[in-house]
C-alpha cells in the first residue's frame, strides 16, 4: 500500500502533466498557424488577443459547442471509443519524458528503467484508435483511409525502432534519465552513426504522426476523406488533440535521445528542453508546408526499400564501432 | 548499388533546395492587409457600383440599351415647359455585371461607376434601387465613395 | 503497380467487386464543377466517365440576342482566368468579319496585355496543380502573390480584376495609363527571379518527380487525334503554336521560342508551362521596348453592322486554341456564334489516360491538363 503522501504527490504531478499537455496542444495549434502563415508571406491569426494568441481558445470553445452527430449504422461501441484510443496512449507516454532538472532532481514523473521501451510499446496502440475509427464509421472511404494509415504506421515503426536501438547501444541503458546523462560530454547527434539515425528517426516520426509528406490518411484533395470523417464536435477535437500531442511526444523523444535532453548552459534546464522540442516541431512544420505528398505505394516502397536497409546497415556499423 | 546511393543523395539535396526557398520567403514581409481595419485604395478606372448625377442626364436611353444584362430601366415624363424629367431610374445590382459600358457610352458623364465595392447585404430589396433616391447607397456608403 | 501477390492465382477464389466512386461536382480538386464517376477495382481505376454541364449558361444562344459589342462581357466569363485572351479572340473574329484594320499601337497593346494574362493564367494552373498533389497551400500562395502584381496592373489599365472587358472591335477600350510601362518593366524583372524560385521548389524535387514522371503519358498521335491543343499538345512533343505558325497581331516581329516536352507526362506539361512563362516575359519586354505612338482605337460606329458572311478566328489561349465562328446576316445581332473551347477537347483525353492508374494519379492527371469549366460548359 502506498502512503498518503506518495498518493498526493502522484495526484499533483499527474495534474501538472495533464495541464501542461492541454496548454501545449493549444499553443501548438497557434504555433502551426503562425509558422505556416509566415512561410506563405502572410500573417495568420491577428485579431483574437495579441497576434492571435487566444485563437486556440476560440477554436476549442467552438468545437465544444458543436453538435455531436452520430450517424446511423455505426458500430456503436467501437465508434464511441476510437477517439480515446487515439488520445490516451499519447498522454500515457508523458510518464517517461524527462522535462528538466532542478537541483539534481530530474523532473520526470516516473523514471522507469525500461523507459524507451515503454514509450515505443504504448505509442503503437495509437494505430488501434485509427483502425477503430475507420471500421466503426460504416463508410467505405473511412475504412480505406484507416487501412492505409494503419499500413503506413506499422511499416514505419521498424526504422523508428532500429534508430532508437542504435541510441540505446551507445547509451548503454533503456532508461531515459541515463540516456540524457550519457550525452553530458557530447550530444548524440554529433556522432556520425547517430546523425544518420537522427535523420531516419525524423522521417519515421513524420510518418508516425501522419504529417506531410506522409499524410495520406488526412488527404483532403483525394477521393477518400480520411478516418475522421464521421466525427464532429468534441470527438473530432480529441483526434486533433491526439495528433498534436503525438507531434509533441515524438519531438520530445528526439530532443532527449539525440539533442541532449535538458542539458545546456546558462538557461534553466526546463527552458532548454522546451527550446529543443519546439525547434524540432518547427522543423516538422517547415517540412509540412514545403513538400508534396507521396503516393501510397511509393510510401511503402520508401520504407521497406530505403529506410529499413539503411537503418540495419547503420546499426551494424554502430555495433562494430562500439566493439572496437 | 552506387546508383542507389546517388539517387538518395540527389533526392535529399533537391529537398533541401525546396526548404531553402521556403525559408527565404519566411524572411519577407507579409503581403496581406488586415481588412476591414485597413483597406486598399481603388484605382482611377475602377468599376464599382453605378451611380447617377441626375442633373446631367439628357434621357437619351443609351445606357439602358447598351447594358448587356438589362439592369437599368428608366422612365421619364414631359413637363408643361416641354422639358424631359426623370421619373424613375431603376438599377438592379443583382443583374449588373460591372462591365462599364454605361459609363463609356453616356455623352454627358451623368451615369458613372463609383468606387463602392462592398455590397453584401441580407435583403434582396436593397439590391434593386432607384438611383434618384438620395438614400440609395446609405447601407454601404464608405470613404471610398467619391 | 508491379505484378505482385495480389494478381497471382491465390486470389482467384476470393470474390472481389468493383465499386463506383463519385468525384462529385463539388470537390476541392476538380477545378470547377466537374462530375467524375470512377469505377475502381481496389486502388486501380477501371473506367472513368466524365459528366459536364453543371456550369452551362447558354452563351451561344444569348449571343444571338445581343449586339457584337454587348457580347464582349460574356466572353470574359468563358475562361475566367485568362479573360483578356478570350476578349482578344472574339474581337479579332468580329474584325475579320467586318474587314477592319487596327492601328499598330493597338496591336502592340493587345500583345502585351494578352501575354501578361498568359503569365497570370499559367501561374494559376501551376499553383492549383501542385496543390492537388498535396503541397497544401504554400506554392498556391506564392503563385497568387505574383499574379496579384499582374492583376494590379490590369486594375490600373481597365478597372477590373477578373473580368476585364477591355478589347473592342477596332482597338482597345482605353489607352494605357501614364506610368504603366515602368510598372510592366519592373514586373518582368521581378517575375524572372520569382519563376526561378518557383522552379527550385518543384522541378527537381524528388517527391514531385516521383508523383509526376511517367504519369498520364499522352502519346503524340493520341494528342493529335483528340484535338488537344496548347501546353498539353506541346508537352507531348508536337511543336504547334498559333503565334508562330499562323501569326496574328504582331507576333511575327518578336523573338521567342516554343517549348516542347519529350515524353508527354505530367512533368513535361508542368515544365512547358513554366518555360512559356519565361517566353511570355521575353515577348512583353520586346513589345514594351518598341511600342509605337498613335491612337489605340479605330472608329467603327456605335452599332456594328457587318455584311452577311461568316468568319472563323482562332487565337492561342493559355489553355489551347480558342476559336470563334460567327455567321452574320447583316443585322446588328449575330445569326450564329459558335465557340470552340480548348478545355473541352483537352478534357476528352482524360478517360483514355486514366484507365489502369491509381486514384491519386487521377487527381494528378486532371490537374496537369489544367481545365477551366467555364470554357467547357459555356
Q: Can you spell out the DSSP letters for C64-118?
A: TTS-TTTTHHHHHTTSTTSHHHHHHHHHHHHHHHHT----HHHHHHHHHHHHHHH
Assess whether C228 and C182 both reside in one domain. yes
Assess whether C184 and C157 both reside in one domain. yes
Length of chain C in residues, anyone? Answer: 378
Angle between helices A140-171 and A115-123 (to 10 degrees): 170
The set of cell numbers assigned to C318 is: 493559355
Q: Which of A112-116, C111-115, C163-167 has the lowest mean pLDDT?
A: A112-116
- In angstroms, rounded to a whole number, what is the distance separating the alpha carbons of residues C80 and C164? 10
Interface test with B, best of C74, C130, C159 (most B CBs within 10 A): C159
Assess whether C42 and C121 both reside in one domain. no
Q: Is residue A33 within a helix (H) or strand (E), and if so which, with residue range? A: helix A4-39
DSSP 3-state assignment of C275? Answer: helix
Residue B98 phi/psi, 5-degree rounding, is: 60, 45
SS3 content of chain A, % helix, strand, coil (to 5): 70, 0, 30
Q: Is residue C167 within a helix (H) or strand (E), and if so which, with residue range? A: strand C167-168
- In angstroms, rounded to a whole number, what is the distance separating the alpha carbons of residues C270 and C123? 11
Q: Which residues of chain A have pLDDT under 50?
A: 221
Between positions 48 and 87 of C, the ones with CB within 8 A of A are none
Assess whether C122 and C160 both reside in one domain. yes
The per-residue pLDDT for range A25-70, each reduced to its tens digit, is 889 989 999 998 888 888 888 888 888 888 888 888 888 888 878 8
| DSSP secondary structure of C27-64 | -TTSSSS-EEEEEEETTEEEEEEEE--TT---HHHHHT
Instruction: Give the pLDDT confidence score for residue A208 in this predicted structure.
Output: 86
Q: Is C192 exposed, middle or buried (0-12, 13-18, 19+ CB in 10 A)?
A: middle
Question: For B120, how many CA atoms within 13 A lie in the half-sphere containing its CB?
Answer: 0
CB pair distance less than 8 Å for C133 and A292: yes
pLDDT at position C90 over 90 = yes
The set of cell numbers assigned to C104 is: 499598330
Q: Is residue B77 within a helix (H) or strand (E), and if so which, with residue range? A: strand B72-78
- In this prediction, residues C214-240 reach a mean pLDDT of 90
- In angstroms, rounded to a whole number, what is the distance separating the alpha carbons of residues C28 and C47? 21
Assess whether C250 and C105 both reside in one domain. yes
Which of C159, C206, C302 is nearest residue B11 as measured by Cβ atoms?
C206
- In angstroms, rounded to a whole number, what is the distance separating the alpha carbons of residues C358 and C48? 12
Task: Quote the pTM value.
Answer: 0.89
In degrees, rounded to 5, the angle at the alpha carbon of residue C122 between the alpha carbons of residues C119 and C124 is 110
Number of domains in chain C: 2
- Report chain B's mean pLDDT, rounded to a whole number: 85
- The answer to whether the beta carbons of residues C143 and C126 sit under 8 Å apart is yes
CB pair distance less than 8 Å for B17 and C155: no
Could you tell me if C132 lies within 8 Å of chain A, comparing CB atoms? yes
| Per-domain boundaries in chain B | 50-130
Chain A environment of B25 (Cβ under 8 Å): 39-41
| DSSP secondary structure of C217-261 | ---HHHHHHTT--THHHHHTT----HHHHS--TTGGGS-------
Assess whether C296 and C316 both reside in one domain. yes
Nearest to C232 by CA among C253, C199, C260, C211: C260
Could you tell me if C134 lies within 8 Å of chain B, comparing CB atoms? no
More confident residue, B139 or C59: C59
Length of chain B in residues, anyone? Answer: 146
Burial B109-142 (b: 16+ CB within 10 A, else e): ebbbbbbbbeeeeeeeeebebebeeeebbeebee
More confident residue, C287 or A148: C287
Instruction: Give the pLDDT confidence score for residue A223 in this predicted structure.
Output: 56
Which of C28, C205, C208 is nearest residue A220 as measured by Cβ atoms?
C28
Place of cell 550530444: A187
Long-range contacts, stretch C223-229, CB < 8 angstroms, 24+ apart:
C223/C264, C223/C349, C226/C345, C226/C348, C226/C349, C227/C345, C227/C348, C228/C320, C228/C345, C228/C346, C228/C349, C229/C320, C229/C321, C229/C342, C229/C345, C229/C346
- In this prediction, residues C182-208 reach a mean pLDDT of 89
DSSP 3-state assignment of A69? Answer: coil
pLDDT at position C16 over 70 = no
Residue of C nearest to A293 (CA): C134
- In angstroms, rounded to a whole number, what is the distance separating the alpha carbons of residues C282 and A284? 39
Q: Which of A295-299, B18-22, C239-243, C347-351 has the lowest mean pLDDT?
A: A295-299
- Predicted confidence band at C8 (pLDDT cuts at 50, 70, 90)? very low
- Predicted confidence band at C173 (pLDDT cuts at 50, 70, 90)? confident
Assess whether C21 and C112 both reside in one domain. no
Instruction: Give the pLDDT confidence score for residue C15 in this predicted structure.
Output: 62
**Owning domain of residue C181:** 59-377
- In this prediction, residues B71-95 reach a mean pLDDT of 88
Q: Is C245 exposed, middle or buried (0-12, 13-18, 19+ CB in 10 A)?
A: exposed
Cis link prior to A213 (omega < 30° from 0)? yes
DSSP type of residue B38: S
DSSP 3-state assignment of A105? Answer: strand
Instruction: Give the pLDDT confidence score for residue A225 in this predicted structure.
Output: 62
Nearest to C214 by CA among C264, C148, C249, C151: C264
Instruction: Give the pLDDT confidence score for residue C14 in this predicted structure.
Output: 61
Question: For C210, how many CA atoms within 13 A lie in the half-sphere containing its CB?
Answer: 21
In degrees, rounded to 5, the angle at the alpha carbon of residue A288 between the alpha carbons of residues A223 and A141 is 20
The per-residue pLDDT for range B9-45, each reduced to its tens digit, is 888 888 888 888 888 888 888 888 888 788 888 888 8
CB pair distance less than 8 Å for C200 and B18: yes
Instruction: Give the pLDDT confidence score for residue C2 in this predicted structure.
Output: 43
Residue C325 zone, left/alpha/beta (φ > 0; ψ -120 to 50; rest): beta
pLDDT at position B143 over 70 = no
Assess whether C114 and C71 both reside in one domain. yes
| Sign of the torsion angle spanned by Cα atoms C188, C192, C193, C195 | positive
| Sign of the torsion angle spanned by Cα atoms B123, B124, B127, B130 | negative
Nearest to A242 by CA among A85, A95, A20: A85
Q: How far is CA A86 from CA A57, A237, A254, C99, in A?
A: 22, 11, 21, 72
Q: Which CATH architecture has domain B50-130?
A: 2-Layer Sandwich (3.30)
Could you tell me if B73 lies within 8 Å of chain C, comparing CB atoms? no
Cis link prior to B93 (omega < 30° from 0)? no
CB pair distance less than 8 Å for B8 and A42: no
The per-residue pLDDT for range C25-71, each reduced to its tens digit, is 877 666 788 888 888 887 788 888 889 888 899 999 999 999 998 99
pLDDT at position C3 over 80 = no
- Report chain C's mean pLDDT, rounded to a whole number: 87
Q: How far is CA C48 from CA A305, B41, C40, C356, in A?
A: 33, 48, 9, 10
Residues 6 or more apart whose CB falls under 8 angstroms from that of B28 comprise A41
Between positions 13 and 72 of B, the ones with CB within 8 A of C are 14-15, 17-18, 20-22, 24-25, 31, 42-47, 66-68
Amino acid at each position: 500500500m502506498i502512503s498518503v503522501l506518495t498518493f498526493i504527490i502522484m495526484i499533483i504531478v499527474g495534474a501538472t502533466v495533464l495541464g501542461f499537455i492541454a496548454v501545449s496542444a493549444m499553443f501548438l495549434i497557434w504555433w502551426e498557424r503562425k509558422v505556416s502563415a509566415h512561410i506563405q508571406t502572410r500573417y495568420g491569426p491577428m485579431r483574437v488577443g495579441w497576434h492571435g494568441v487566444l485563437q486556440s481558445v476560440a477554436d476549442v470553445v467552438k468545437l465544444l459547442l458543436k453538435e455531436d452527430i452520430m450517424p446511423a449504422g455505426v458500430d456503436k461501441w467501437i465508434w464511441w471509443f476510437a477517439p480515446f484510443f487515439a488520445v490516451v496512449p499519447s498522454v500515457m507516454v508523458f510518464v517517461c519524458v524527462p522535462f528538466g532538472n532542478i537541483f539534481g532532481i530530474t523532473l520526470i514523473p516516473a523514471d522507469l528503467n525500461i523507459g524507451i521501451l515503454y514509450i515505443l510499446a504504448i505509442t503503437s496502440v495509437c494505430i488501434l484508435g485509427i483502425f477503430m475509427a475507420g471500421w466503426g464509421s460504416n463508410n467505405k472511404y473511412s475504412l480505406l483511409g484507416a487501412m492505409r494509415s494503419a499500413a503506413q504506421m506499422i511499416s514505419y515503426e521498424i526504422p523508428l525502432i532500429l534508430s532508437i536501438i542504435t541510441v540505446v547501444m551507445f547509451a548503454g541503458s533503456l532508461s531515459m534519465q541515463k540516456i540524457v546523462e550519457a550525452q553530458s560530454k557530447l550530444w548524440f547527434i554529433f556522432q556520425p552513426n547517430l546523425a544518420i539515425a537522427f535523420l531516419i528517426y525524423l522521417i519515421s516520426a513524420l510518418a508516425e504522426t501522419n504529417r506531410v509528406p506522409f499524410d495520406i490518411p488526412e488527404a483532403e484533395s483525394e477521393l477518400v476523406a480520411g478516418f475522421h470523417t464521421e466525427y464532429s464536435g468534441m470527438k473530432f477535437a480529441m483526434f486533433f488533440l491526439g495528433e498534436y500531442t503525438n507531434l509533441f511526444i515524438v519531438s520530445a523523444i528526439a530532443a532527449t535521445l539525440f539533442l541532449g535532453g535538458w542539458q545546456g548552459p546558462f538557461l534553466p534546464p526546463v527552458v532548454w528542453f522546451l527550446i529543443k522540442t519546439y525547434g524540432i516541431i518547427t522543423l516538422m512544420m517547415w517540412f509540412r508546408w514545403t513538400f508534396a505528398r507521396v503516393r501510397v505505394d511509393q510510401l511503402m516502397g520508401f520504407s521497406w526499400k530505403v529506410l529499413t536497409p539503411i537503418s540495419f546497415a547503420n546499426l551494424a556499423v554502430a555495433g562494430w564501432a562500439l566493439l572496437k | 548499388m552506387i546508383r542507389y546511393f546517388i539517387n538518395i543523395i540527389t533526392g535529399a539535396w533537391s529537398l533541401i533546395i525546396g526548404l531553402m526557398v521556403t525559408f527565404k520567403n519566411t524572411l519577407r514581409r507579409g503581403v496581406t492587409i488586415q481588412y476591414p481595419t485597413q483597406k486598399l485604395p481603388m484605382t482611377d478606372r475602377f468599376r464599382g457600383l453605378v451611380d447617377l448625377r441626375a442633373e446631367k442626364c439628357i434621357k437619351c436611353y443609351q445606357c439602358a440599351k447598351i447594358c448587356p444584362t438589362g439592369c437599368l430601366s428608366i422612365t421619364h415624363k414631359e413637363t408643361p415647359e416641354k422639358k424631359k424629367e426623370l421619373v424613375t431610374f431603376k438599377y438592379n445590382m443583382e443583374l449588373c455585371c460591372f462591365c462599364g459600358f454605361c459609363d463609356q457610352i453616356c455623352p454627358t458623364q451623368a451615369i458613372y461607376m463609383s468606387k463602392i465595392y462592398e455590397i453584401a447585404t441580407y435583403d434582396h430589396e436593397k439590391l434593386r434601387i432607384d438611383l434618384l433616391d438620395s438614400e440609395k447607397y446609405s447601407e454601404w456608403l464608405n470613404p471610398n465613395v467619391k | 503497380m508491379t505484378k505482385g501477390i495480389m494478381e497471382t492465382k491465390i486470389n482467384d477464389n476470393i470474390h472481389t467487386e468493383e465499386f463506383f466512386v463519385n468525384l462529385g461536382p463539388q470537390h476541392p480538386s476538380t477545378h470547377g464543377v466537374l462530375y467524375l464517376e470512377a469505377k475502381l477495382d481496389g486502388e486501380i481505376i477501371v473506367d472513368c466517365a466524365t459528366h459536364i454541364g453543371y456550369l452551362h449558361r447558354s452563351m451561344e444562344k444569348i449571343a444571338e440576342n445581343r449586339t457584337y459589342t454587348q457580347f464582349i462581357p460574356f466572353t470574359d466569363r468563358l475562361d475566367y482566368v485568362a479573360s483578356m485572351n478570350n476578349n482578344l479572340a472574339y474581337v479579332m473574329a468580329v474584325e475579320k468579319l467586318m474587314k477592319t484594320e487596327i492601328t499598330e499601337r493597338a496591336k502592340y497593346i493587345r500583345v502585351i496585355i494578352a501575354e501578361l494574362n498568359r503569365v497570370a493564367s499559367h501561374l494559376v494552373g501551376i499553383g492549383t496543380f501542385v496543390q492537388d498533389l498535396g503541397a497544401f497551400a504554400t506554392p498556391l500562395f506564392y503563385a497568387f502573390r505574383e499574379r496579384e502584381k499582374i492583376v494590379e496592373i490590369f486594375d490600373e489599365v481597365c478597372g477590373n480584376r477578373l473580368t476585364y472587358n477591355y478589347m473592342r472591335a477596332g482597338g482597345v477600350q482605353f489607352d494605357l495609363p501614364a506610368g504603366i510601362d515602368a510598372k510592366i518593366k519592373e514586373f518582368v524583372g521581378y517575375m524572372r527571379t520569382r519563376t526561378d524560385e518557383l522552379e527550385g521548389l518543384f522541378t527537381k524535387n524528388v517527391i514531385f518527380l516521383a508523383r509526376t514522371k511517367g504519369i498520364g503519358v499522352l502519346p503524340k498521335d493520341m494528342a493529335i487525334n483528340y484535338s488537344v491543343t496548347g501546353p498539353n499538345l506541346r508537352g507531348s512533343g508536337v511543336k504547334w503554336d498559333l503565334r508562330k505558325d499562323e501569326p496574328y497581331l504582331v507576333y511575327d516581329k518578336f523573338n521567342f521560342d516554343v517549348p516542347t516536352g519529350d515524353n508527354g507526362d505530367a512533368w513535361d506539361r508542368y515544365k512547358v508551362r513554366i518555360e512559356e512563362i519565361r517566353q511570355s516575359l521575353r515577348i512583353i519586354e520586346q513589345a514594351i521596348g518598341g511600342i509605337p505612338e498613335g491612337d489605340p482605337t479605330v472608329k467603327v460606329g456605335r452599332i456594328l453592322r457587318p455584311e452577311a458572311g461568316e468568319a472563323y478566328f482562332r487565337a492561342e489561349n493559355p489553355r489551347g486554341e480558342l476559336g470563334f465562328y460567327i455567321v452574320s446576316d447583316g443585322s446588328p445581332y449575330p445569326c450564329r456564334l459558335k465557340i470552340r473551347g480548348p478545355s473541352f477537347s483537352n478534357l476528352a483525353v482524360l478517360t483514355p489516360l486514366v484507365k489502369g492508374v491509381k486514384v491519386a494519379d487521377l487527381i494528378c492527371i486532371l490537374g496537369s491538363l489544367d481545365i477551366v469549366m467555364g470554357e467547357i460548359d459555356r
